[in-house]
Chain A
Amino acid sequence: MAVIELQGVSKVYTKGGESLVVLDNLDMKVEAGEYLALMGPSGSGKSTILNLIGGLDEADSGTIRVGDVEVTRLDDADLTSWRARHIGYVFQAFNLIPVLTALENVELPLLLTPLGKAERRKQAEYALEIVGLADRMDHRPKQLSGGQEQRVAIARAIASDPTILLCDEPTGDLDRESADQVLELLKRLSTEFGKTVIMVTHDLKAGEEAGRVLHLDKGVVEHATTA
């Protein structure tokens, strides 16, 4: 059974009397453990899809099911706590909290779990080990390179062991070498750790790494390619 299923999802923005249809009756399925890339021109609604799946934004119509939860039915408070348990986010702009160290950033989402202080620290350290930055624990984001920052962000996304990773152009701000490291890491998370990864990208090479690519245009799936 698909772990993520979108049925007839529409999203329309209205601004100054004009309405912009971003997603138009979209159907989409993602299998558990899949490594999926979303590609398409700017403004085609890729980020919007991630935000809807992660419950950061609300659809105007249609249903979104993640696991056995119908996300479209949860209210804001339930959605928030559900997100903390099931979704890991990785952003193009890394979005680390500048005043916290790498370790503290990774530990942050664990504050939402019942884990004790020592366990939180241990788990955060483990996540940093997975991304290969155990030696940079006490550095602030400013003291890290872009690639390192993004790996810390990935460690944060996996710290509380969510099943789904939503990555919005994770390599968009990185040089080739750093981008490759990040892509390799995401692939490993999918193959070795069984995470379901959905990655929005403009990077053709990133697309090649993915198990499946959905090409989006004007709010509908234009075509799909499978590796």
Chain B
Amino acid sequence: MSLGRLVRRHVGSHPVRAILTIGAVAVALFLFCFLRSIVTSLDAAVQESSSRRIITASAVSLFQSLPTTYLEAIEAIDGVESASRFTWFGGVYKEPSNFFAQFGTDPQTLMKQYPEIVIPEEQKQAWFNDRRGAIVGIGLAEKYGFKAGDTVPLLGTIYPRTDGSEWEFNIHGVYRSLRANVDEMTMYFHWPYLDESLENGTALGPRGTSVFLIRLADDYRGEDVSDAIDAYYAGGPQRTRTQPEAAFQADFVNMLGNLPTFLGMIGAAVLVAILFGVVNTMTIAARERMRTMGILKALGFPRQVPSRLYLMEAISFAALGGAIGMGVAWSTQGVFRSILGTQVPMYRVAPETFVWGCVICIVIGIVGGAVPAWNASRLHAVEALRRGA
């Protein structure tokens, strides 16, 4: 027998109420982790971008293609180690709801530029050697069951085939990503395959490339090379805008506008609502326990004991709910990485998020218990026994 047991019995004496309260805290903590992780994952994508890479796009808009003839000129600029074409394909796999990113690129160059994309050597070579070949991220492979040897049909939306048929890509491998700036939910294929089809009229769509991915030679500064490229095309035919990879990622995050702030506000509102919920539960519990607290006082328990019992009870609710909520957030990382795909590359719950989660739980517990605890500390035993239910 201990006071801890008394707390456990009180928690257990109203199972439905306890489950609802714990469930509410769990949902709130899960939401907190989830929303914060979206923000931190987007941030990480920017942070972990390489300063050795810059990206050239049309100065008009991201949706405007650049002529592929730029490739040679860009490669010739001082400080450019390599450049690869990179085109958003926008194909549909079976159903429009199966959205995932596909890019046409120069495979050999891309793999040199992005050492964080890792894939077994023989798979890589097989991809290089097949014009219709493609590789997919591990997340994508798991989601749709893609594996080496499969043929994936994609219906072109930006690039429809003239006979109305689907494009076919041969999967040769599955890659993993070592950094947050590259997601594992993308398919990469040969840009020339796309371009040839446009050339010979079997498909329709804009020629050129969405962007050029550029890797800098050693000892060159990204800004200088960017300026040089943009200066080269200042007079047209199409002006360019070259940015560090991180800025490019950040631009994408900025396209989401105030979303991170908005997510933060939703999260805060949910937490405050749950805090009220816990305070409410504890106030109801305290009203029912008035007599019990009077009894403890009459038996000679110090005045702090009832307060401590309420605090322990509220903290139990918060701790149990928090553990469940954070546990769910932890174990669903893979699921959300796959659902969020390219939009939030490499979604993961950062360790600090769990630390913050624990802090929030403690605050919910203490504030939730403080109201009845304060009332209890002022409670007169005779009064409590007289009025108590």
The answer to whether B10 touches A99 (Cβ under 8 A) is: yes
Contact A99 B1 (CB under 8 A): no
A58 to B12, CA, bound (A): 37
Contact (Cβ within 8 A) A97 B292: yes
**Which residues of A sit under 8 angstroms from B382, Cβ to Cβ?**
51, 56-57
Assembly CA distance A85 to B301 (angstroms): 11
Residues in B with CB closer than 8 Å to A85 are: 300
CB contact under 8 A between A107 and B301, given known A97-B6, A99-B10, A100-B6 = no
Contacts A91-B385, A95-B295, A104-B1; is A112 near B300 (CB within 8 Å)? yes
A99 to B303, Cβ gap below 8 A?
Answer: no
A111 touches B9 (CB 8 A): no
1/0 per residue A104-141: CB within 8 Å of B?
A: 10011101100000001100100000000000000000
Task: Write the chain A residue with the least CB distance to B2.
Answer: A111
Question: CB of B302 within 8 A of chain A?
Answer: yes
- Among residues of B, the one whose C-beta sits closest to the C-beta of A87 is B300
For window 59-115 of A, CB contacts with B under 8 Å fall at 76-77, 80-85, 87, 89, 91, 93, 95-100, 103-104, 107-109, 111-112
B29 at the interface (CB under 8 A from A): no
Q: Which of B1-50 contact A (CB under 8 A)?
A: 1-3, 5-6, 9-10, 12-13
Tell me the complex Cα distance, A138–B117, Å: 65
Give min CB distance, A188 to chain B, whole Å.
22
Which of chain A's residues have a CB closer than 8 A to the CB of B296? 108
Chain B residues closer than 8 Å to A109, beta-carbon distance: 299-300
A53 to chain B, nearest CB (A): 13
Main secondary structure of the interface of B (DSSP, over half): helix
Contact of B298 among A76, A89, A111, A124 (CB under 8 A): A89
B9 neighbours in A (Cβ, 8 Å): 99-100
Count of inter-chain pairs, beta carbons less than 8 A: 70
- State the interface size on chain B (CB cutoff 8 A): 24
Q: Does B291 contact A (CB under 8 A)?
A: yes
Q: Are B301 and A97 in contact (CB under 8 A)?
A: no
**Interface 0/1 of B298-314, CB less than 8 Å to A:** 11111100000000000
Q: Is B297 an interface residue (CB 8 A)?
A: yes
Does B80 touch A at the CB level, under 8 Å?
Answer: no
Query: A residues within 8 A CB of B13?
Result: 98-99
Q: Contact at B6–A99, with CB atoms within 8 Å?
A: yes
A76 to B302, CA, bound (A): 9
Docked CA distance A177–B156 (Å): 92
Q: A51-B382, A56-B381, A95-B295 are in contact. Are A80 and B1 (CB under 8 A)?
A: no
Q: Which among B13, B300, B303 has the highest number of chain A CB atoms within 10 Å?
A: B300
Q: Which residues of B pack against A, CB within 8 Å?
A: 1-3, 5-6, 9-10, 12-13, 291-292, 294-303, 381-382, 385
Residues of A near any B CB (own CB < 8 A): 51, 54, 56-57, 76-77, 80-85, 87, 89, 91, 93, 95-100, 103-104, 107-109, 111-112, 120-121, 124, 156
